Structure 1
């Protein structure tokens, strides 16, 4: 960061139903596009400020605790900073809100500084379907779900693994992730809610994991099946990527300010799994 730029953190919420995801796309309505365009207008800039985000959510996915940053000239921040939140509220459409704006600490990066992202997926197995007032945020699964079986399946997926079986492959990107938390509860209103927390997620990972666990919950597969799919390392046609509207990015976690620089470096390193016991790192395939 140069002396004439200020890094600004934005805390963002949005209803993803009418968006083609976070990332700006030509000819499509996106969260990034709406916020960047609003920033250009309220800051009275000719050029469009560019946001960096903690997690690029897919089309239809919601967020309650998304985090982004933008680098602004110091004189622009000094002039507009105190009124920026209110002005954005007046400019943005109602399905996206910037809930907080502030100068970020040194070395903060919304993407690379994050140590975890926490999502929630919500589903109902009520025979009458989803509550009409929740239909845009809760998936209806037309089979009774066994909460205990789903949690047993979830425990077999925790830890650091190559999640290639649950991810849509992207060229040059690793699918190794550390799944820190995965658990289901049934809320008082009957909705089942999964908490899914990891250091990072690859494309479609949460929705594929949920799809596998729903298959266990409704009795189509045993609780050990999702872990077996994980160990096989290839996509299984029985693993369905569930619809996006049940998924919400709830929170992004960051380390203490003094650890931000080190975290940025660690996040940029491409990850590999350690070799299996008894097998050298350069072991050949068979």
Structure 2
């Protein structure tokens, strides 16, 4: 995965562009999908042999000027451009290893979000902690352990996320972003390797090299207990805990989505109380 990440990214991105999209003529039958290496080099104003060495992994230290020219040539948006710089090592990284445990104050903060689902993910999309309502929200899955694995390997995902394709793309893009920040992170490599082996859908999306920022569009969910909901996801980097991301799902106030989420919380609380009574040997009121 990290042998020639820069070259893989460049090849994938040029394969998406046609000559017409970048103002180049196209003659005869093309043996490659998208742009040729030579065409990218022309657009970027550089020697074609140098660009070929970049893709082949024989040149690993391009200057910021070269990277900027390639970004323009390949029509990269800001997240993809940032990812390119990271892959090339042009953005010095002093990031410590991701922290794999959450602090007690963060645990208290999660539990304080009583009316909305809240959870903490590491860069590999492992659930590090979640509050009670998040547990109720993801209850249809066989295990609430890793959001990427749940999305691609649990059959419940395609029913739970009616816009599964869009959600799946966002998961892969997030993993790509994490790879750019820390390509040697062992847990990320493990998760990606497993998903490439076990999910053709994941493998196809991963090879597409998509990187983009998080959308503010609502995540649409269909829960078997309360029906459809549209929840807006807000994510926050946890200060002092490298790599941890606090995610909060919120409905639009006063909507049917908010009512459905409130109902889910009520059902979960009732079930929790009933379970406690059963364990204690209690009966009715």
Scaled by the length of structure 2, the TM-score of the pair is: 0.29
Q: Which has the larger radius of gyration?
A: 2
Higher relative contact order by CA 8 Å / sep ≥ 6: 1 or 2? 1
More helix by share: 2
